[in-house]
Amino acid sequence: MRISNRQFLQAIFGENWSTAHVTSFFDDPGAIDQDRRGICWAGGEAGSWQFEDGENHYFTISLFFKDGGRANRRKTNFKQCHVIVADDVKEKLPIERVEMLPEPSYKLLTSAGSEQWGWILKTPCSERGVVEALLDGLVAKGLAPDGTDPGMRGVTRYVRLPEGTNTKASRNNFKCQMLSWKPELKYTMEGLAKVFDIDLTPKQEKQVEAVTMPDHPIWSAVTVTGYGADGWVRIDCPNAAAHSSADASGAAVRTLVDGSVQFKCNHGHCSKLSGAKIVNKLGITDEVDQYQLRVARAGVEALAEKLGLSGGGTDEPEVQKKVIDPKRYIFIAEKNKFWDCKTRQLITPAGIDNRYLSVYPRKKGKGASEMLLQGCGLDDEADGMCWEPTGWTRPGRDEVLVRVEGRTLINEWSGFNVAPNLDLPVPDLWLEHAEYLLPDAREREVVLDYLACIVQRIDEKPDYWLVHRGGFGVGKDLFYSAVMFGLGDDIARTIHIDKLLDGWGDYIRGLKFAAVEEVDKAQDKRVANAMKVICASGASKYRTLNLKGGAVVRQRDCLGGVLMSNKRHCLAVEEGDRRYFVVDSYIEPKSEDYYQKLAEWYRQGGYEQVMGYLGRRDISNFNPHKLPFRTDGLEDLVRGGKFDYEKNMDEMAADRSGLFSRDWFSKMELRTFAKQCQWKCGVNGLEEAVQNVGYVFVEVQKKIDGKKNKLGRFWVRQEVVKDRSVSELYDVMLEKMGSKK
C-alpha cells in the first residue's frame, strides 16, 4: 500500500500539512554522535523539507506556533494535537489491550513484527494538558511495555512517516510499510478516553519559578551538553543504561527558586524519574538538602510571596458561582466520583479540587468538591451509570438522568456523530454502490432496511445479523463505513470476531452497531453457537457485561451488526439457523478512481446524505425480529459449514445409497457403517447428522395378548413414520420384513 509522506500528512493535518514538524537523517536513532544530535532532531516544516530515500523519516503528532519566526518543537510552542499514536504494537505492546481501542486510522509496519497505530482526531485538541492526560492514561492502562515507553507520551513526540527507513542497527534498514490506511476513520479525545475510563482533566502542576543557581551541587554531578529555554540545561542522562542502545541524550535539569531540582528525559524509561530521584541516583541528596536549607535561610519564602507563588483566591460565593457551574456535575455516591456533563468523564473529588484550585484553594481543608457536595440537590445525584439510547442527539443536562429498573442513573448515550437531516438529497452515489455490491434487488432492500432500522429504532435489537461475503477490493468496508461514521465511534466500532465472543463485555460496552471484518470460522460450530447469544434478544431488554477490570455493568441490549469475509465458507451455520441474512458480492472490482470518488464524496457531505436517507427510509413493514427469507448465500453457508461426513451422508440420503438406501437401521448398524466409511466424528455428531437427513430414532413395539412385543430401537425414515403410532409402525415394519404373526 503506497502512501506518500505528503498524502499521509495531508490526511492528518489537512490544509496545515505544510507546517507539520518533520525531520529525517541517515544516522542510527539509538547511536547518534554527540555533535549531530541537535542537527538530527531539530527538524523543520514539512512544506520545505527535503526527504531522501534510505533515511529515517519522522513527524510530530502536534503543530507548533513559530518561535521567533522559526519552527521549534517545544511544549511551550504547542498549538494543537492532530493524532494519537501507539508505538511498538505487537512487538512490545499487549495486542489485546490495543485492540480495545477502535480501529485505527492507519497501521504502519516500522520493522519486522513492530507497528505504529494512529487514531486521527476529528477536531484537533488545542489543550495540551488534555492531550497529556489522555496519553498518560493510556500508558497507565497498559498500552506501554513495562508501563514506560509507549511511543506516544508527550505532545512533541516524533513518530515515523510511511516513506522512511528504520536505520537502527537492530532493524537492518527496514523499509516502512503501510498495512492499513483508513484516514476517513477519525475520533474524539473523549471517545478514545472512554474505552479505558481515562480522566481528561489536565494535571495542575505546582508553579515554581526556575532560577539558574551556578553554585548548586547538581552541576558538579552531571555532564552538561547544552542549554535550552526556560532555564533547562541539557545533560547526559544519569539513567542512560536503561535507554534503548544506552543512548544518553534527551535529558535536562533545571534548578528552582527553592533550591530543588527538576528533571525530564525524552526516553520512556525515565518517565517516572523526578528531580529528587535523580539527585538520589547521583548520590548528592545530603548536599542538595543542605543547599535548600541555605536558600531558605536567605529568604526564599519572601521571594516566593513577591512572585505570587503562595496561592490566593477567595471564599466569596459570588466569585465561586462565576467559576463553577453546579449543574455541570452530578455526584455518584457508589463510585465517590463526579460526572462532568460537559466532558462526559468521571472525575474524582481531588480532580475537581485541582481543576478549581486557583479560585478555591482548599482553605481550612475545604475544596471545590466539598462546595459542590454541600449544594447537591436530588437532581444532582445518581445511583450509578447506564447506557440507554434515547435519541439521535446527545441528551442534555435535563435529560441525562433516567430511571432504569427503579434506579436513577446517568445515561452515557452519546447520540450519533451525524444526526440525520431528513431534508437532504438522496445519496445517489452510495445507493449506486449498494446496487453494484448487491445486484439482487430483493436482498439489497433488506440490507438497506436493516441499516435504516439501526438508525431509526435506536433502542430496538434486531434478532439477526447481516453476513456479507465477497471478493477482495470490491468496497464492502467502504459501503458500511458511511453508516459507521454517521453513528460515530462511540457507538459503532470494528471488532475482531474473537474479541466479540471472548466472554468479556469491554468490546460491546456502549455498542449499537458492530462491523466484524475478516471472519474465517468455517466448521467451528462453537462460534456459531456463541453468536446466537449475541444475535438473539433475551428475555430482558438489558444485558449484563463483565469487564476485564472486575466491574460489572448493565446496558440496553440493542446491538446489531454485519459479519464480513472474503471467504465463502467463513462461518459454520447449522441447518434451520435463522440468525443470519447472507448476501454476496463476488464481483469484479471497480477502478481505483471509482472508490476514491466515493470516499471523497463522503467527505464532501455524503455521510450526511446517507444518514438523512436512512433516517427517513420507510421501514414500516420491516420486521427486525424475523429473518425475511433464506438467501442462496445462507444455504451455501449451511452446506459449506458441514463436516465431510455430514456432506457424505447428505449425498447418500439424496441418492438412497449405502446404508441410507434402507428405511430403517439400528444404532449398531449406523456405527459400523460410519467406521467402514472412516468418518471421523463422535456419537453425538453422527446421530445429529442422521436426524438432519430425515431419520428419527424410535422404539418399535406393540401389545399382543396383553404383552409388549418389542421389535427393537431403530433409526427410521420420517416418511415411513409419518403420523403412525409405534404399534402401527410395528405392523408396517413386520410386513416389509416378510414375517408372519
Q: Residue 572: its pLDDT value, please?
A: 80
Section 336-364 average pLDDT: 80
Q: Residue 314: its pLDDT value, please?
A: 37
Whole-angstrom Cα distance, residue 393 to residue 388?
Answer: 12
Strand stretches in 78-223, DSSP E: 78-89, 106-111, 114-125, 158-160, 165-166, 174-175, 177-181, 186-187
**Of 281, 306, 331, which marks where a domain is finished?**
306
Cross-sheet strand order for the sheet of 233-235? 224-227, 233-235, 251-255, 261-265
Section 647-656 average pLDDT: 86
Whole-angstrom Cα distance, residue 695 to residue 718?
Answer: 5
Section 602-616 average pLDDT: 96
Residue 360's pLDDT band (cuts 50, 70, 90): low
Section 275-279 average pLDDT: 90
Query: With contact defined as beta carbons under 8 Å apart, do 183 and 106 qualify?
Result: yes
Whole-angstrom Cα distance, residue 226 to residue 562?
Answer: 57
Share of residues in the chain with pLDDT > 70 (%): 90
Specify the amino acid at residue 403: R
Q: Does residue 205 fall inside a structural domain?
A: no
Tell me which of 68-77, 223-232, 598-607 is least confident.
Answer: 68-77
Rounded to the nearest 5°, which phi and psi values hold at 58?
Answer: -130, 155
Residue 617's pLDDT band (cuts 50, 70, 90): very high
Q: Does residue 186 fall inside a structural domain?
A: yes
Q: Residue 711: its pLDDT value, please?
A: 87
Q: Are residues 590 and 505 in the same domain?
A: yes
Query: With contact defined as beta carbons under 8 Å apart, do 73 and 45 qualify?
Result: no
Q: Does residue 417 fall inside a structural domain?
A: no
Q: Over 60: is that where the pLDDT of 315 sits?
A: no
Residue tagged 462526559 (cell numbers):
344
Q: Are residues 572 and 449 in the same domain?
A: yes
Q: Are residues 468 and 604 in the same domain?
A: yes
Residue 741's pLDDT band (cuts 50, 70, 90): very low
Q: Are residues 179 and 235 in the same domain?
A: no
Q: Are residues 560 and 593 in the same domain?
A: yes
Q: Are residues 148 and 19 in the same domain?
A: yes
Q: Does residue 419 fall inside a structural domain?
A: no
Section 581-596 average pLDDT: 94
Residue 268's pLDDT band (cuts 50, 70, 90): low
Q: Does residue 644 fall inside a structural domain?
A: no
Q: Residue 152: its pLDDT value, please?
A: 57
For residue range 483-492, list pLDDT tens digits in order: 999 999 889 9
CATH of the domain at 81: 3.30.70.1790
Provide the grid cell at 339.
460526572
Residue 679's pLDDT band (cuts 50, 70, 90): confident
**Of 596, 618, 639, which marks where a domain is finished?**
639
**Of 597, 613, 639, which marks where a domain is finished?**
639
Q: Residue 151: its pLDDT value, please?
A: 47
Query: Which H or E run contains 252?
Result: strand 251-255
Query: With contact defined as beta carbons under 8 Å apart, do 73 and 157 qualify?
Result: no
Q: Are residues 492 and 610 in the same domain?
A: yes
Question: Which alpha helices (H) appear in 326-391, and where do they start and end?
Answer: 349-355, 368-374
Q: Does residue 616 fall inside a structural domain?
A: yes
Q: Are residues 325 and 287 in the same domain?
A: no
Residue 376's pLDDT band (cuts 50, 70, 90): low
Tell me which of 261-265, 340-344, 469-473, 533-537 is least confident.
Answer: 533-537
Section 151-159 average pLDDT: 78
Q: Residue 688: its pLDDT value, please?
A: 84
Contacts of 214 (CB under 8 A, 6+ apart): none
Section 58-68 average pLDDT: 88
Provide the grid cell at 626.
424475523
Residue 317's pLDDT band (cuts 50, 70, 90): very low
Q: Residue 377: its pLDDT value, please?
A: 63
Q: Does residue 143 fall inside a structural domain?
A: yes
Q: Which residues pair with 227 in a beta bridge?
A: 233
Whole-angstrom Cα distance, residue 95 to residue 327?
Answer: 40
Q: Residue 153: its pLDDT value, please?
A: 64
Residue 184's pLDDT band (cuts 50, 70, 90): very high
Whole-angstrom Cα distance, residue 725 to residue 729?
Answer: 6
- Residue 703 belongs to domain spanning: 650-737
Cross-sheet strand order for the sheet of 695-704? 664-665, 707-717, 695-704
Q: Are residues 374 and 436 in the same domain?
A: no
Strand stretches in 471-541, DSSP E: 492-495, 513-516
Q: Over 60: is that where the pLDDT of 365 sits?
A: no
Residue 90's pLDDT band (cuts 50, 70, 90): confident
Q: Over 80: is that where the pLDDT of 643 sits?
A: no
Q: Residue 561: its pLDDT value, please?
A: 95
Q: Are residues 272 and 173 in the same domain?
A: no
Q: Are residues 324 and 301 in the same domain?
A: no
For residue range 426-477, list pLDDT tens digits in order: 999 999 999 999 999 999 999 999 999 999 999 999 999 999 999 888 999 9
- Which has more pLDDT, 644 or 635? 635
For residue range 100-119, list pLDDT tens digits in order: 889 999 999 999 889 999 99
Query: With contact defined as beta carbons under 8 Å apart, do 380 and 402 qualify?
Result: no
Query: With contact defined as beta carbons under 8 Å apart, do 361 and 311 qualify?
Result: yes
For residue range 548-577, list pLDDT tens digits in order: 777 788 889 999 999 999 888 888 887 778
For residue range 198-249, list pLDDT tens digits in order: 888 876 655 567 888 888 999 999 998 888 777 889 898 898 877 765 667 7
Q: Does residue 209 fall inside a structural domain?
A: no
CA-to-CA separations, 592 to 53, 468, 473, 585, 732, in angstroms, rounded: 27, 21, 9, 17, 68
CATH of the domain at 618: 3.40.50.300
For residue range 688-713, list pLDDT tens digits in order: 889 888 999 999 998 888 888 888 89
For residue range 399-428, list pLDDT tens digits in order: 999 988 888 999 999 999 999 999 999 999
Q: Are residues 602 and 453 in the same domain?
A: yes
Q: Residue 301: its pLDDT value, please?
A: 44
Q: What is the mean pLDDT of the chain?
A: 85
Tally of domains within the chain: 5
Specify the amino acid at residue 414: S
Section 241-260 average pLDDT: 79
Q: Over 50: is that where the pLDDT of 135 sits?
A: yes
Residue 300's pLDDT band (cuts 50, 70, 90): very low
Q: Residue 303: its pLDDT value, please?
A: 38
